[in-house]
Amino acid sequence: MLSTKNVNKKFGSLVVAEDINLSLPRGVRYALIGPNGAGKTTLINLITGMVAPDSGEILLGDENITHLQPHRRVRRGLARTFQINSLFPHLSALESVTLSVLEREGHAHNWWRALPSFSAATDEAASILTSLNLQKNLNRETRELAYGQQRLLEIALALATRPRVLLLDEPAAGVPKGESAELFAAVEGLSSELTVLFIEHDMEVVFRFASRILVMVGGRILVEGPPQEIARDARVREVYLGTAHAA
């Protein structure tokens, strides 16, 4: 579904992505883990077009999207969330998600019809928010929502684009542990057709929800495999626990 071929990126002399070769099949839940500064968020930025690679290719299905603008990638089915909330503070949750639906449907250029006449978009937005347990806060301004609810709204905005591939950048960052399991349960309940790649530091969550794990260190993919294999891998143990434990 999503693949990268030899993607490289440097910021000055700092290598943030080196020969990244990924292949994420349809419907798989991938966790992207690695120490701080490993280049995980940069990889998402490269895939979504927010940062241009120095070389290499990014493919969505069979289409080369390397040079597509970010919004065009979204329209082809590649959505993301942000590590730090990036929302619309003065729009209500319902307005925010409706906007995302309207953009997807190509209605957002329409200036001559009033919003209430797009009830299908509003209903769909309400349904997405309800599926994420936000039904009690539809009309509250985003800035008034609790932090955990804002994290869910991040996901709702992405889901409203009807993605084929969803990239979640630390979706549970800053969310209390009990609530993060609830958040990932919502992610787990998403369509089995949807490919999900999520960055997460909580290994308990990673091993519970990921069907495969990618480990990134120093801008490179160190290893990729199913959770049990990753848990046994000496290189991963070294990265996370140090040489003594790896031995």
Partner 1 sequence: MANVKLNPLEVVFWLCTLLPFVLAPSYLSLASQIAITALFALSLDLILGYAGIVSLGHAAFFGVGAYVAGLIAKHYWTEPISALLLSGLAAGILGYALSHIVVRFRHLALIMLTMGFGLLLAEAANSASDITGGADGLQGFRVPGVLGFGFDMFGRTAYAYSLALLFLCFLVCRRIIHSPFGLALRGIRENATRMPAIGAPNLAHLRKAYTMAAMFAGLAGAALTHTTSTVSLEVLSFGRSADVLVILILGGAGRLYGGIIGAIIYMVARDQFSGVNPQYWYFWIGLLLVTVVMLLPNGVLGGLSALHKKRQ
- The binding site for partner 1 (CB under 8 A) comprises 48, 50, 69-71, 74-75, 79-80, 82, 86-91, 94-96, 98-100, 102-104, 107-116, 118, 121-122, 157-158, 160-161
| Shortest Å, Cβ 77 to partner 1 | 10
| Shortest Å, Cβ 125 to partner 1 | 10
Count Cβ neighbours within 10 Å for each residue of 72-82 and write b for 16 or more, e otherwise.
ebbbebbbbbb
3-state secondary structure of 169: strand
| Shortest Å, Cβ 23 to partner 1 | 23
Q: Are 100 and 88 in contact (CB under 8 A)?
A: no
Nearest to 50 by CA among 77, 81, 29: 81
> Closer CB to partner 1, residue 1 or residue 44?
44
Rounded-to-integer distance, Cα 25 and Cα 214, Å: 13
| Shortest Å, Cβ 162 to partner 1 | 10
- Which residues, in sequence order, are CB contacts of 244 under 8 Å at separation 6+? none
Parallel/antiparallel/unpaired status of strands 55-60 and 2-11: antiparallel
| Shortest Å, Cβ 230 to partner 1 | 29
- Which residues, in sequence order, are CB contacts of 62 under 8 Å at separation 6+? none
Strand-pairing partners, residue 63, are 60
Rounded-to-integer distance, Cα 228 and Cα 35, Å: 19
3-state secondary structure of 178: helix
> Closer CB to partner 1, residue 42 or residue 122?
122
Residue 177: CB atoms within 10 A of its CB come to 10
> Closer CB to partner 1, residue 22 or residue 159?
159
| Shortest Å, Cβ 208 to partner 1 | 27
> Closer CB to partner 1, residue 161 or residue 195?
161
> Closer CB to partner 1, residue 43 or residue 230?
43
> Closer CB to partner 1, residue 82 or residue 184?
82
